[in-house]
Amino acid sequence: MSRPRRFLPSVSLLQAFEAVLRTGSTAAAARELDLTQGAVSRLIQGLEAQLGQPLFTRERRRLTPTESARAYGRDISRALDLIARASMELAANPGGGVLSLAILPAFGTRWLAPRLAGFLSAYPGITINLATRLKMFNFSAEGFDAAIHFGTDDWRDAGHLRLFDETLIACAAPAFLARHPVSGAAALLDLPLLQIETRPTAWAEWFALQGVPAPAPRGMLFDQFAPMTQAAIHGLGIALLPEFLAQPEIDDGRLVVACGKPFTGVGSYWLVWPVSRSEHPPLHAFRAWIEAETRALRVA
């Protein structure tokens, strides 16, 4: 794709613009970039000349960015971050083979991390960079090669590989159940039920599976499983937790299953990737590995 040179300003022009926009002055930008204030001003003027429009209004010695400059700056900041990340990845692994993966915190900590050594042993030339993301994002803006996603195969312009369904179990601390004996699912209606933002109907569906009509649950609301798990461990209520996440705590006695049957929720865990990166060799290797690792869970 041919890119008109006018719309490809040099990195030095863009760095000066981004620094002035972020710091609020040419003086602060000059200190950050180790340039003189006059040099920064000339770079800004050069960028304005190349783009053919002003980016700042000038009153005395004060620069005020235009609204269009603010929007432009958000895109430029992301682009500079992508360039910096690509350069760091190349420096860390000059032979290539870098996979940038966005993960869900609980999945990454409890399921993926204990298994990554096996992948890296099988593919020693690949470096994996991990970062957490709780919600969908724009692959082209963020620069990730793939992401672990919970829900359905609804990520736009992306390929999908279903890893496994989520099985939820009602868990509580042994001391909590000693104070609040539970004779059946209906008894939970009188107890604090810990909730997670991303599974708003989970308790209602769990009670329906147990044959108990239930009103909206009472209890604390969390945005991640890790703090909700800790709340359950410390006796603040009963939590519906993914089985793979709760099992270590059950094994060491910090949590027990309160009652009821396991509940398979409406969502699944997926590996998703931008279609444009489908044949990226590290992604191809990771996709094959994680498909094999989760095969037994899909069968189950």
| pLDDT-derived band at 2, boundaries 50, 70, 90 | low
| pLDDT-derived band at 89, boundaries 50, 70, 90 | low
Q: What is the mean pLDDT of residues 128-139?
A: 92
pLDDT tens sequence across 28-43: 999 999 999 999 999 9
Q: What percent of the chain has pLDDT over 90?
A: 69
| pLDDT-derived band at 87, boundaries 50, 70, 90 | confident
C-beta of residue 270 within 8 angstroms of C-beta of residue 153: yes
pLDDT tens sequence across 94-127: 555 889 999 999 999 999 999 999 999 988 888 8
Q: What is the mean pLDDT of residues 69-92?
A: 83
* C-alpha span between 91 and 130 (Å, rounded): 17
Nearest Cα residue to 43 out of 20, 59, 76, 61 = 20
Average pLDDT, the chain: 90
Lowest mean pLDDT among 160-164, 197-201, 247-251: 197-201
* C-alpha span between 66 and 54 (Å, rounded): 8
- List, in order of start, the domains of the chain with CATH numbers: 5-91 (1.10.10.10), 95-152+276-299 (3.40.190.10), 165-266 (3.40.190.10)
Pair of tokens at residue 17: 């613009």
Whether the full predicted model's pTM is greater than 0.85, yes or no, is no
Q: Report the pLDDT value the prediction gives residue 1, as an integer from 0 to 100.
A: 53
Sign of CA dihedral 285, 290, 295, 296: positive
Q: Report the pLDDT value the prediction gives residue 159, as an integer from 0 to 100.
A: 95
- Assess whether pLDDT exceeds 80 at residue 61: no
Q: Report the pLDDT value the prediction gives residue 300, as an integer from 0 to 100.
A: 65
Helix (H) or strand (E) holding 150: strand 146-151
pLDDT tens sequence across 167-187: 999 999 999 999 999 989 999
| pLDDT-derived band at 81, boundaries 50, 70, 90 | confident
- Assess whether pLDDT exceeds 70 at residue 5: yes
| pLDDT-derived band at 20, boundaries 50, 70, 90 | very high
Nearest Cα residue to 270 out of 113, 146, 163 = 163
| pLDDT-derived band at 164, boundaries 50, 70, 90 | very high
Nearest Cα residue to 10 out of 47, 35, 45 = 47
Q: Report the pLDDT value the prediction gives residue 237, as an integer from 0 to 100.
A: 96
pLDDT tens sequence across 190-209: 999 999 998 988 999 999 99
- Assess whether pLDDT exceeds 60 at residue 153: yes
